[in-house]
């Protein structure tokens, strides 16, 4: 009798986890995973909308509100300053409120920021709005890829995760294109749309099962996993693996900031932080934020240049996503950095000719070719690969602290470049691009000398390679 009762009790425990598919039936499509990913990447699109706003709006905002170069440079760079704060605080928020809670906070900050920009009559409201959208952007940059990785089945986790970068580029590009035909205030209102879709969509999708398991909410964990995998899917093995992983994680000592400087971690830190520094100080955010100004100074039609830039960025990012695991990280980084050097040098030649009143007809053509080579090369490797390598290079016990610090370094670089870009261009337009060319040339040396190839290796093999 007791054995029968135990058997019945065991069946009751296992039943919610094991709903075997009937023989001969087709595997159930994980539609909830697709919907959840769509809602999450609306945050990525909002990120891109924030990043792409200042370039098409620059001239109109400066004229309407009578801003100096210094005031507009501050406005542009406050986005990245806010993102630094968002990157620092989003980790604790995501752990406390959940991944969905963190995305709601991000959406709310972006909406408030866009409204402040829309109603701005002076520099204070404009800057506060930019700071708020920056905070939301920085928080999205942390929580969206984590949420997608935690809900996606391992069979196509990589494909879904790449949507984050593709939607960021799409958001930038859409802002560039729409910004050529609407006013800067209307463009700010349009920026609210993806935030609102994300905020409302979060009510229709489950929380990350891994976060629920980590918080000890076992019933909700199983319900969320069941919702994501389908009512007839067998989730028993995956549920057990998640629980085992959470238990292992809880046993590991919590890493502190100073732990990153231990000898066994120093190469991992050097690789990740170095890639972030070269990604940003190679000039990407200065060029992205002020593309319209570059084309205007070179004498190329601004609207046409912005549209070409926008389309090229999305196309190359989308084409690059499927080949990351075939080509390898290191070859893509080297190819990308080489293209960045070439693009910077072409743009430098263009502005040198203009400064010395030579070859007038060649100046706009060379400028647009240089910028297109630059953005195409960045999208092909240096845009996504530092983040991919960072996710692989750290041991699991320091991944949270180290990843947060690497993100902070990245956003600091973005702020520094976006703030100084206009001042550098005023000093010497061709000199600015020569400086960026030198930085990208140093990136080539860094990748060759320091960065290992991680393609096709397990995380344990990567650790043995990096920290022998």
pLDDT digit string (tens) for 195-212?
Answer: 999 999 999 999 988 889
Q: Is the pLDDT of residue 187 over 60?
A: yes
Rounded mean pLDDT of 116-134?
Answer: 95
Local confidence band at 360 (pLDDT 50, 70, 90 cut-offs): confident
Q: Could you tell me the sign of the dihedral formed by the alpha carbons of 142, 148, 154, 159, in that order?
A: negative
Local confidence band at 158 (pLDDT 50, 70, 90 cut-offs): low
Residue 13: per-residue pLDDT: 38
Long-range contacts of 217-225 (CB under 8 A, 24+ apart): 222/16, 222/17
Highest mean pLDDT among 28-32, 401-405, 435-439: 435-439
Residue 459: per-residue pLDDT: 57
Local confidence band at 16 (pLDDT 50, 70, 90 cut-offs): very low
Residues whose CB falls within 8 Å of the CB of residue 376, separated by 6 or more in sequence, listed in order = 312, 313, 316, 339, 343
Q: Is the pLDDT of residue 190 over 80?
A: yes
Residue 157: per-residue pLDDT: 64
Residue 156: per-residue pLDDT: 67
Position with higher pLDDT, 15 vs 125: 125
How far apart are alpha carbons 462 and 468 in whole angstroms? Answer: 10
Which residue has 């989003």 as its token pair? 90
| Domain 30-205 superfamily per CATH | MFS general substrate transporter like domains (1.20.1250.20)
What percentage of residues in the chain have a pLDDT greater than 70? 89
Local confidence band at 159 (pLDDT 50, 70, 90 cut-offs): low
For 13-73, the three-class secondary structure string (H helix, E strand, C coil) is: HHCCCECCCCCCCCCCCCHHHHHHHHHHHHHHHHHHHHHHCHHHHHHHHHHHHCCCHHHHH
Residue 352: per-residue pLDDT: 95
Residue 468: per-residue pLDDT: 65
Burial of 182 (0-12, 13-18, 19+ CB in 10 A): middle
Q: Is the pLDDT of residue 25 over 50?
A: no
Cβ distance 414 to 83 under 8 Å?
yes
- Listed residue (123, 107, 117) closest to 41, CA to CA: 107
Rounded mean pLDDT of 128-150?
Answer: 89
Q: Could you tell me the sign of the dihedral formed by the alpha carbons of 86, 89, 92, 93, in that order?
A: negative
- DSSP per-residue codes, 105-173: HHHHHHHHHHHHHHH--SHHHHHHHHHHHHHHHHHHHHHHHHHHHHHS-GGGHHHHHHHHHHHHHHHHH
Give the Å distances, CA to CA, from 158 to 102, 145, 162, 272, 388: 22, 10, 6, 20, 10
Q: Is the pLDDT of residue 1 over 50?
A: no
- Listed residue (139, 46, 131, 48) closest to 86, CA to CA: 139
Two tokens, residue 385: 């690969």
Q: Is the pLDDT of residue 10 over 70?
A: no
Rounded mean pLDDT of 134-149?
Answer: 87
Local confidence band at 3 (pLDDT 50, 70, 90 cut-offs): very low
Cβ distance 306 to 55 under 8 Å?
yes
Cβ distance 143 to 208 under 8 Å?
no
Give the Å distances, CA to CA, from 408 to 80, 306, 322, 384, 397: 10, 29, 28, 16, 19
Cβ distance 107 to 57 under 8 Å?
no
Residue 14: per-residue pLDDT: 37
Local confidence band at 127 (pLDDT 50, 70, 90 cut-offs): very high
Rounded mean pLDDT of 387-404?
Answer: 76
Rounded mean pLDDT of 234-261?
Answer: 77
Domain boundaries, the chain: 30-205, 255-467
SS3 306: helix
Rounded mean pLDDT of 35-53?
Answer: 92
Local confidence band at 50 (pLDDT 50, 70, 90 cut-offs): very high
Rounded mean pLDDT of 253-279?
Answer: 85
What rounded mean pLDDT belongs to the chain?
84
Residue 458: per-residue pLDDT: 60
Q: Is the pLDDT of residue 6 over 50?
A: no
Residue 241: per-residue pLDDT: 81
Burial 88-122 (b: 16+ CB within 10 A, else e): bbbbebbeeebbbbbbbbbbebbbbbbbbbbebee
What percentage of residues in the chain have a pLDDT greater than 90? 39
Q: Could you count the other beta carbons within 10 Å of the beta carbon of residue 457?
A: 14
On the question of a common fold for 30-205 and 255-467, the answer reads yes
How far apart are alpha carbons 364 and 358 in whole angstroms? Answer: 12
Local confidence band at 28 (pLDDT 50, 70, 90 cut-offs): low
Pick the CATH number of 255-467 from 1.20.1250.20, 3.30.70.80, 3.30.70.2190, 1.10.10.60: 1.20.1250.20
- Listed residue (195, 145, 173, 191) closest to 37, CA to CA: 145
Residue 118: per-residue pLDDT: 96
Q: What share of the chain is helix, strand, coil (3-state, %, to 5)?
A: 80, 0, 15
Q: Could you count the other beta carbons within 10 Å of the beta carbon of residue 458?
A: 10
């Amino acid at each position: 009798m007791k054995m029968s009762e135990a058997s019945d009790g065991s069946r009751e425990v296992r039943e919610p986890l094991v709903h075997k598919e009937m023989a001969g039936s087709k595997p159930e499509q994980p539609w909830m995973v697709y919907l959840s990913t769509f809602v999450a990447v609306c945050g990525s699109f909002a990120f891109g909308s924030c990043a792409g706003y200042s370039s098409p709006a620059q001239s109109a905002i400066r004229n309407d509100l009578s801003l100096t170069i210094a005031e507009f440079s501050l406005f542009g760079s406050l986005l990245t300053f806010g993102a630094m704060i968002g990157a620092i605080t989003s980790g604790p928020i995501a752990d406390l409120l959940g991944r969905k809670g963190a995305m709601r906070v991000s959406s709310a900050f972006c909406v408030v920021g866009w409204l402040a920009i829309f109603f701005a009559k002076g520099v204070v409201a404009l800057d506060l709005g930019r700071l708020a959208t920056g905070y939301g952007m920085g928080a999205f940059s942390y929580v969206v890829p984590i949420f997608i990785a935690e809900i996606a089945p391992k069979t196509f986790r990589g494909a879904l995760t790449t949507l984050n970068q593709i939607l960021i580029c799409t958001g930038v590009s859409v802002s560039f294109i729409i910004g050529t035909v609407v006013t800067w205030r209307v463009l700010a209102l349009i920026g609210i749309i993806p935030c609102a879709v994300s905020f409302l969509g979060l009510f229709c999708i489950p929380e990350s099962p891994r976060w629920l398991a980590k918080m000890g909410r076992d019933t909700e964990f199983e319900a969320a996993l069941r919702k994501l995998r389908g009512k007839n899917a067998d989730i028993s093995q995956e549920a057990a693996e998640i629980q085992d992983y959470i238990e292992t994680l809880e046993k590991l000592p919590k890493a502190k900031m100073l732990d990153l400087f231990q000898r066994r971690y120093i190469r991992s830190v050097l690789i990740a932080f170095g890639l972030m520094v070269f990604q940003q100080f190679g000039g990407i955010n200065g060029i992205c934020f002020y593309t319209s100004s570059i084309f205007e100074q070179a004498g190329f039609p601004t609207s046409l240049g912005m549209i070409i830039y926008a389309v090229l960025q999305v196309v190359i990012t989308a084409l690059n996503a499927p080949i990351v695991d075939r080509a390898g990280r290191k070859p893509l980084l080297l190819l990308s950095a080489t293209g960045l050097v070439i693009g910077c040098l072409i743009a430098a030649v263009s502005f040198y000719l203009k400064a010395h009143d030579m070859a007038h007809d060649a100046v706009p053509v060379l400028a647009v070719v240089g910028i297109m080579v630059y953005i195409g090369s960045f999208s092909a490797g240096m845009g996504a690969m530092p983040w991919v390598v960072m996710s692989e290079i750290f041991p699991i016990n320091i991944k949270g602290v180290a990843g947060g610090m690497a993100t902070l370094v990245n956003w600091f670089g973005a702020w520094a470049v976006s703030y100084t870009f206009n001042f550098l261009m005023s000093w010497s337009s061709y000199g600015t691009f020569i400086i960026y060319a030198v930085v990208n040339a140093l990136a080539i040396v860094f990748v060759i000398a320091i960065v290992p190839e991680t393609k096709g290796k397990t995380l344990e093999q990567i650790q043995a390679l990096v920290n022998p």
